[in-house]
């Protein structure tokens, strides 16, 4: 059973309007009313699908996260030679992913956005890292794998935050090199 044409039409219009407005103002200052006016969708229809503007954004977020997961599957080319044995390829993929969706991540890392978006990203990276970590620490049953992966995942995100602060002036390639250097110290 495929989704009703009217529904996807409405959702496309709302997503388009949101993307348009996000280039002008922050997520929290976009009202349901103006969003619906721009999308030419009835306000009641919006509430039938989403409870608040954030929910609409989150739906978009999931498609981006999907891409991150997919990019993890992709074969590695240009960075493999950089990698030391301590670097998880998954972690190093993140910077290219952020670069690709820069406009989007400018929102995700903006101050006014709820912490939940950061957590969604964190979760994703933590999961990617966890598999690698649990292999590496197979012999040490005494240490909490969740803690180790949380530590490593968030360290990477620390670099991403600083990258955002410096207005993404470095290239993703630069960030990869930086990460390798930090890990090798």
Interface residues toward DNA, by CB under 7 A = 1-2, 4-7, 9-10, 31-34, 40-45, 47-49, 51-52
Shortest spacing between CB 177 and DNA, in angstroms? 44
- Selection from DNA, a second copy, none that 115 binds (CB < 5 to 8 A by kind) is a second copy
Cα separation, 13 vs 28, whole angstroms: 19
* Cα 158 from chain centre: 14
How many Å from the N-terminal Cα to the C-terminal Cα in the chain?
Answer: 55
CA distances from 101 to 52, 91, 145 (A): 23, 16, 30
82 binds, options a second copy, DNA, none, Cβ within 5 to 8 A by partner type:
none
Please tell me whether residue 47 binds a second copy under the rule CB under 8 A.
no
Longest dimension (CA), the chain: 59
What separation in angstroms does the CA of 7 have from each of 15, 56, 110, 149, 176?
Answer: 12, 13, 30, 39, 41
- Minimum distance from residue 58 beta carbon to DNA (Å): 15
Question: Whose Cβ is closer to DNA: residue 5's or residue 185's?
Answer: 5
Query: Does residue 178 bind a second copy (CB under 8 A)?
Result: yes
**Binding partner at 152 among a second copy, DNA, none, C-beta below 5 to 8 Å by kind:** a second copy
| Cα separation values, 55 from 47, 72, 81, 113, Å | 10, 26, 41, 12
User: In angstroms, what is the minimal distance from the CB of 72 to DNA?
Assistant: 33
110 lies in the binding site for a second copy (CB under 8 A): yes
Task: Please choose which of a second copy, DNA, none residue 158 contacts, taking the beta carbon within 5 to 8 angstroms, the exact cut-off set by kind.
Answer: a second copy
């Amino acid at each position: 059973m495929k989704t009703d044409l009217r529904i996807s039409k409405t959702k496309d219009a709302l997503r388009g309007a949101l993307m348009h407005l996000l280039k002008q103002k922050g997520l929290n200052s976009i009202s349901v009313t103006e969003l619906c006016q721009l999308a030419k969708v009835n306000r009641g229809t919006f509430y039938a699908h989403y409870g608040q503007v954030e929910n609409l954004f989150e739906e978009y977020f999931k498609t981006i996260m999907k891409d991150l997961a997919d990019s993890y599957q992709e074969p590695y080319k240009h960075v493999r030679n950089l990698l030391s044995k301590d670097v998880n390829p998954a972690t190093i993929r993140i910077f290219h992913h952020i670069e690709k969706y820069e406009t989007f991540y400018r929102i995700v890392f903006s101050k006014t956005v709820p912490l939940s978006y950061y957590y969604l990203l964190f979760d994703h990276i933590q999961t990617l890292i966890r598999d690698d970590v649990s292999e590496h620490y197979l012999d040490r049953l005494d240490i909490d794998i969740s803690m180790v992966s949380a530590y490593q995942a968030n360290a990477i995100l620390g670099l991403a935050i600083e990258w955002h602060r410096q207005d993404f002036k470095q290239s993703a390639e630069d960030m990869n090199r930086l990460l390798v250097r930090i890990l090798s110290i």
